């Protein structure tokens, strides 16, 4: 039996084989205690975890919304229970699943714009991790100075201009009261055009940065901000048609994600790759 887990900042979701997905509040879960209880109750043979934070070589390094740091979870589970466990960043897991849905893409970029902003890349069916498994963390690329501080200590990260958090910060900065972050609604407000244009500039900047560095066949965008503003796909496609790239390469596919369970399914795919 496989235990697959999507350990997010707000929700902790798990699934045993193909049984229904169970959703818990993240703050109510002690990960090690949960795993121990599950292994007592069920004949678990392997564990796959998608984690909303930084992971390297089976070690949970840190997470912005989860109180876990430097946890050698893969080593602990293997030593205590002789059970294989794989774990990686949630966006990397989601990217792996998106790549399985786009088998003809040699290199695929998956970019998430929700509360935060991040990305992951898959090349020939394998996650591009880099030297420290931080590849794809484009949200902390310097862009423009802002009046806000990022969790990394800088004030000019892309995430401070290109995320739901950024829209909330800028709206509060200009005294706007918005319940949903739809860009067309923001644009119509006083100073909203400034927020709107800054967002579009950051979106285009991030797109061309990834395009220049990795030359992907396709871009898949996910996250609540993208889902609430699907016209942004048209904006990105127009950005590409106005660039010099169109004369020298085939246009990449730029699409919204249709996946609902990418993190869970991607963690399972990661487990399958490790078994081979």
Extended strands (E) in 79-236: 85-89, 107-113, 117-123, 126-127, 218-222
Contact, 252 vs 207, CB < 8 A? no
What is residue 245's predicted lDDT score, i.e. its pLDDT? 82
Cβ-based neighbours of 234, under 8 Å, separated by 6 or more: none
Per-residue confidence in pLDDT tens, the chain, 276 aa: 999 999 988 889 999 999 999 999 988 999 999 999 999 999 999 999 999 888 999 999 887 768 777 789 999 999 999 999 999 999 999 999 999 999 889 999 999 998 889 999 999 999 999 999 989 889 999 999 999 998 888 999 999 999 999 999 999 999 887 766 788 888 888 888 999 999 999 999 999 999 999 999 999 999 989 999 999 999 999 999 988 888 888 899 999 999 888 999 999 999 998 877
Pick the CATH number of 2-92+261-275 from 3.40.1160.10, 3.30.420.40, 3.40.50.2300, 2.100.10.30: 3.30.420.40
Instruction: Indicate the CATH number for domain 103-256.
Output: 3.30.420.40
How far is Cα of residue 167 from the mean position of the Cα atoms in its chain? 18
Contact, 110 vs 222, CB < 8 A? yes
User: Which part of the chain is CATH 3.30.420.40?
Assistant: 2-92+261-275, 103-256
Contact, 201 vs 218, CB < 8 A? no
Q: Which residues of 257-270 are buried (b: 16+ CB within 10 A; e: fewer)?
A: bebebbbbbbbbbb
What is residue 197's predicted lDDT score, i.e. its pLDDT? 95
Q: Note if the pTM is more than 0.85.
A: yes
Q: Which residues of 216-235 are buried (b: 16+ CB within 10 A; e: fewer)?
A: bbbbbbbbebbebbeebeee
CA angle 146–210–191, rounded 5-degree value = 30
Cβ-based neighbours of 42, under 8 Å, separated by 6 or more: 1, 3, 16
Beta bridge partners of 215: none
- In this structure, what token pair is assigned to residue 131? 């030297």
Q: Which of 133, 130, 155 is nearest to 144 (CA)?
A: 155
């Amino acid at each position: 039996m496989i235990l697959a887990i999507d350990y997010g900042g707000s929700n902790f979701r798990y699934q045993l084989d193909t049984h229904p997905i169970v959703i818990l509040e993240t703050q109510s879960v002690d990960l090690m205690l949960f795993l121990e209880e599950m292994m007592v109750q069920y004949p678990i043979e392997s564990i796959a975890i998608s984690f909303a934070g930084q992971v390297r070589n089976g070690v949970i390094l840190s997470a912005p919304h989860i109180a876990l740091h430097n946890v050698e979870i893969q080593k602990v589970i293997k030593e205590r229970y002789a059970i294989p466990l794989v774990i990686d960043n949630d966006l990397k897991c989601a990217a792996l699943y998106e790549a399985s849905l786009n088998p003809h893409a040699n290199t695929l970029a998956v970019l998430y714009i929700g509360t935060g902003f991040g990305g992951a890349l898959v090349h020939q069916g394998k996650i591009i991790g880099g030297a420290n498994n931080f590849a794809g963390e484009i949200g902390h690329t310097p862009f423009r100075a802002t009046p806000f501080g990022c969790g990394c200590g800088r004030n000019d990260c892309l995430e401070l201009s290109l995320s739901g958090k950024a829209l909330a910060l800028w709206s509060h900065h200009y005294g706007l009261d918005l319940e949903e972050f739809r860009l067309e609604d923001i644009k119509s407000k006083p100073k909203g055009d400034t927020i709107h244009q800054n967002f579009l500039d950051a979106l285009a900047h991030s797109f061309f940065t990834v395009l220049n560095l990795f030359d992907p066949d396709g871009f898949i965008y996910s996250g609540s901000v993208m889902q609430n503003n699907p016209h942004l796909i048209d904006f990105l496609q127009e950005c590409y048609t106005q660039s010099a790239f169109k004369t020298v390469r085939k246009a990449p596919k730029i699409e919204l994600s249709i996946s609902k369970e990418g993190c869970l399914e991607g963690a399972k795919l990661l487990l399958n790759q490790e078994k081979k």
